[in-house]
Every structure is written in C-alpha cells, then in structure tokens.
Chains A and B, each alone.
Chain A
Amino acid sequence: MKRWMRSPLMTMAVIVCVWEGIALAHLFPATLFPGVGTVLKSLVKLSVEGALIGRITYSIGIVLLSMAMSMFAAGILLWLSTRYESMARQIGYLEAIFNPLPGMAVLPLVILWVGVTRRGMLLIMMHAMVWPIWAQLHVRFGALKQTYAAFMKAYAVTGLRAGYHIYFRGAVGDLLSSVKTAWSRGWRALISIEMVFGMVGSHTGLGWLIYERRMYMDTAGLYGVLLIIALIGVATEQGLRAIEARVCR
C-alpha cells in the first residue's frame, strides 16, 4: 500500500468529500449541515476574533498538566504494587472500582468537595487518566518481573538500575500505548467537564466553546471546533506513533 494511502490526511479527505457531498445534496437544512467551506470560514472567523487559539492552548495545557500529574501518580502506584504484593491487590481493587466510572459520574462529588474550580477539573482529569496507565503498566511489569526476577537476583540488578533498564525500557511500548488511552480519556473528560462546568475562573477551553457556539446557534462554528478536536486527536496519535516507532525499534 502506498504511503499516502495510509496517511490520516487520506481519512480526513474522504470525510471532507462525503461531508461536502451530503451538504451539496441538501439532504438536511443548511443551518444544521453546513458545507465544508462554511465550516472553514467560521473557523477562520473564530481564529481572527482570538477565541480559538487561546482555548486550544488552554485545553491542551490542562490535558498536558493532568497527564503529567497522572503519570506521576501512576508511577507511585506502580512502585507500590511492584514492591509490595498486598499493595498490588489493594490498588487492583481500587482500579476495579474507579476505572469503569466515567469522569461525569464523579463530577457531582468533586463539585461538592472542591467546588467548580480548576483543582476539581484536574481531579476529574486525573481520575480519567491514571487508571488506564496503571492498569496496562501493572500487567506489563508483572510479566517483566516473572521473566527477569531470577536474572535480576542472580546478577544483582536492583534499585534504579532495574527500574530503568528492565521495567522502564521493557515497558516503553506499553507506556506509550497507555498514554494514548489516557490522552483520549482525558480529552473526553475535559470536553464533557467544560460543557458542564462552564467557565472555571476567567479561562475556558474547547468544550465551553462548543457549548457557546450551540447557544449562539452557530452550527458551522460548532462543527469547526469539533474538527479542531479531531485534528488535535490525529496529530497526537501521529506524534505518539512516531515516538513509539523510534523508541521500540
């Protein structure tokens, strides 16, 4: 298969063509299903007004910050669960309780505890991101421990040396794959939270922008923001895939 055929741009091009075809066929009213040109014009307008860039930056910043915090928390949980078998069990139970719970389900509790604040937002984001990272890496670490435990003991590979050379390097592929899952869960949580939380302080992100566009009946702008979210998702996926290919070569 040729390289351009596998490109995500190819997928986007097909979607754009189908979209434009449906719009031109006038199967739906133009206000509900605007053409690609109208969506792009609306995006340009939002950019010129300065709304788009600031909100993209804000949303990505929040996801990156909560990703860093989630990775740190998952790291501590992993250390505990690898070091102590009893902790592995306890954390496993916690994961079974919390991982299936969507961020929206814990939202009322978080609002009660910390209010509609940036802290609350980060808490929900972490809830969405920390469990997939821990769960996948815990399974991988278990497999690595089983394979290399005798080797590490016989060759005195312990502490940070074992942590980096065996566990980290042996789990890089799983780390990236769990980061991909966490990223998508984080995005999902962020957009939903923003649509419920609305404004947190004086800053808002893409979720609130979607909500705002819908309130103003700016359907083209709404689609435009969704398009931006999709593009960010594709760019992240491509970036992580490139890192994975480089690291796991």
Chain B
Amino acid sequence: MREEIEVRQPLIKIENLTKRYQGTTILSGLSFHLAPEEVLVIMGPSGIGKSTLLNILAKLMPYDEGHIEYAPHLFHGIAVPLPVIFQGTETLMPWMTVMQHLSLVAPNIEEAQARMILERVALWEHRFKKPSELSGGMKQRLAFARALACQSKVILMDEPFTGLDEALKESLYMLLKSVQRERGLSIILVTHDTREAEILGTRVLELKAAETLIEKMPAAER
C-alpha cells in the first residue's frame, strides 16, 4: 500500500521556482510536477530558460527561490538518480568505447545488463567502437544507453535531437517511446520543436516568459 502511494506521488514537485542571473530574472515562480511514467515536454523559444530549468532539476545549478521536492525512492540505491542527456553528443568521450561509456557511469554494471541495454538501442554489435566510428544516430543512442545504464526512473533530456535529420529523428522518437513504456520511465524533455513535443509528450508545458508556464495537450491526447 505504501509503495503504491509512493509510486503514484509526483516524482519531482516544483513550487514557485525562481532563478536570477546577474540581476535578470530568468525563471519566476514556476510550479509544476513530474508524474510517474510520463514524458513531460517543456517547450519554448531559444533563450527562454528551458535548459536552465533542466539544469536546476538535475541539481547542476542552484536556484534562488521556491522549492523542489524529489520523491525519496528516486535516490534509494541509485548512484545517478537524475541522468541527463545533453544537447549534441559532445559529452561522449572520443577515447572511450561504447562499453566503456556505460561502465564509466555505472561501474558495477554486469555484462548481461549492459548487453540488454545495448541490444535494446542496437549498439551491442558496436560495443568496442569509439564515438568517431559511430554515426550521428548511433551516438545519440549511446547517450541514451548511458542514461539507461544508471537504472534511474527519471531521465532529463536537453534538446537531444537537435541537428539530426528528420528520418533519424523519427527512428529515435520510436525508440525513446518504446523504451520509456517498457521501463516505465519518467522523462522531462526540453525542446523547441513542436512536432517533437507532439509525438513524444504525454504532457506539454510551454514556457512563454520567465513566469508563464502554459499546459498544452499533445496531439495524441486531443
């Protein structure tokens, strides 16, 4: 019963979040939550503060006012509870193989587990290759696999599909959706791409200005 209540509670609850930088208010009084097993898309034009918001949620950046509450079970026995998939693939290490990328973020990962993840993202055959030997889509899948290796229930994504061609994006959307459903993942995805938001989001929040967050219904739900 207690577990059930825990599972239904929001995984992340944000109340009146405010962030200032050098005298400018970037985010002001934002409140929303991340429910279990949902893909929450945060949309908005470039420079509005989407990435700042994601960095605050990932605990990479401090905030000035408000409150963020994380469900305690997110942190139980998990070394990396809030893995982030960053924009582009610059955070992949050119000197590491696919397999080494996984063991860097999850040092105790067993081979069977790594194999399961890499097979799911179609990279098992390429496990001894370095990023320079992978295509753009493969690199993005590696970034996704690295986040999956952390075994967290939440993944934060900062415009991960920017710069990829449409066909590649479509295949990655399908992969992301199916893995999210299989594993019951909760994802916060930051993007400025309306189509991406409509395909992937179970809930879409649009950041119009520092203090305005409008909830939109994705196309699938309409």
A interface, CB within 8 angstroms of B:
147-148, 150-151, 153-157, 161, 165-166, 169-170, 172, 248
- Name 5 interchain pairs, CB-CB below 8 A, sorted by A: A147-B90, A150-B86, A150-B91, A165-B100, A165-B104
> What's the Cα separation between A30 and B86 when bound, in Å?
70
**B96 at the binding interface (Cβ < 8 Å):** yes
**B82 at the binding interface (Cβ < 8 Å):** yes
* A151:B150 contact, CB within 8 angstroms: no
**B44 at the binding interface (Cβ < 8 Å):** no
* A148:B91 contact, CB within 8 angstroms: yes
* B79:A156 contact, CB within 8 angstroms: yes
CB distance from A27 to the nearest CB of B (A): 53
**B93 at the binding interface (Cβ < 8 Å):** yes
Chain B contacts for A155, CB-based, 8 A: 80, 83-84, 104-105, 146, 150
Interface membership of chain B positions 42-84, coded 1 if the CB is closer than 8 angstroms to chain A and 0 otherwise: 0000000000000100111000000000000000000110111
> What's the Cα separation between A169 and B55 when bound, in Å?
27
**B107 at the binding interface (Cβ < 8 Å):** yes
* A151:B91 contact, CB within 8 angstroms: yes
Among B55, B82, B84, B105, point to the contact of A157 (Cβ < 8 A). Answer: B105
Q: How many residues of B sit at the interface, in one of the four size bands? A: 20 to 34
Nearest residue (CB) in B for A172 is B95
Say whether chain A's binding surface is mostly helix, strand, loop, or mixed.
helix
CB-CB contacts below 8 Å: B189-208 with A: none
Chain A contacts for B83, CB-based, 8 A: 154-155
* B104:A169 contact, CB within 8 angstroms: no
Chain A contacts for B79, CB-based, 8 A: 156
Chain A contacts for B146, CB-based, 8 A: 155
CB-CB contacts below 8 Å: B18-63 with A: 55, 58-60
B interface, CB within 8 angstroms of A:
55, 58-60, 79-80, 82-84, 86, 90-91, 93, 95-96, 100, 104-105, 107, 146, 150
Nearest residue (CB) in B for A168 is B95
Nearest residue (CB) in B for A154 is B84
Among A151, A154, A172, point to the contact of B82 (Cβ < 8 A). Answer: A154
Chain B contacts for A248, CB-based, 8 A: 95
Among B60, B95, B96, point to the contact of A154 (Cβ < 8 A). Answer: B60
Among B60, B90, B96, B107, point to the contact of A153 (Cβ < 8 A). Answer: B60
* B95:A170 contact, CB within 8 angstroms: yes
CB distance from A42 to the nearest CB of B (A): 47
* B58:A154 contact, CB within 8 angstroms: yes
Given contacts A154-B60, A157-B105, contact A166 B86 (CB under 8 A): no
* B93:A169 contact, CB within 8 angstroms: yes
* A150:B105 contact, CB within 8 angstroms: no
Chain A contacts for B84, CB-based, 8 A: 150-151, 154-155
Chain A contacts for B93, CB-based, 8 A: 148, 165-166, 169-170
> What's the Cα separation between A34 and B107 when bound, in Å?
64
> What's the Cα separation between A151 and B83 when bound, in Å?
9
CB distance from B79 to the nearest CB of A (A): 6
Among A156, A161, A166, A170, point to the contact of B80 (Cβ < 8 A). Answer: A156
Q: Which among A148, A150, A151, A156 has the greatest number of chain B C-beta atoms within 10 A?
A: A151
Given contacts A155-B83, A156-B80, contact A150 B60 (CB under 8 A): yes
* B104:A147 contact, CB within 8 angstroms: no
> What's the Cα separation between A170 and B91 when bound, in Å?
12
11 more A-B residue pairs beyond the given contacts A150-B55, A150-B60, A150-B84, with a C-beta to C-beta distance below 8 A:
A150-B86, A154-B80, A154-B84, A155-B146, A156-B79, A157-B105, A165-B93, A165-B96, A169-B93, A169-B95, A248-B95
Chain B contacts for A169, CB-based, 8 A: 93, 95-96
Nearest residue (CB) in B for A166 is B93
> What's the Cα separation between A36 and B80 when bound, in Å?
67
Chain A contacts for B86, CB-based, 8 A: 150-151
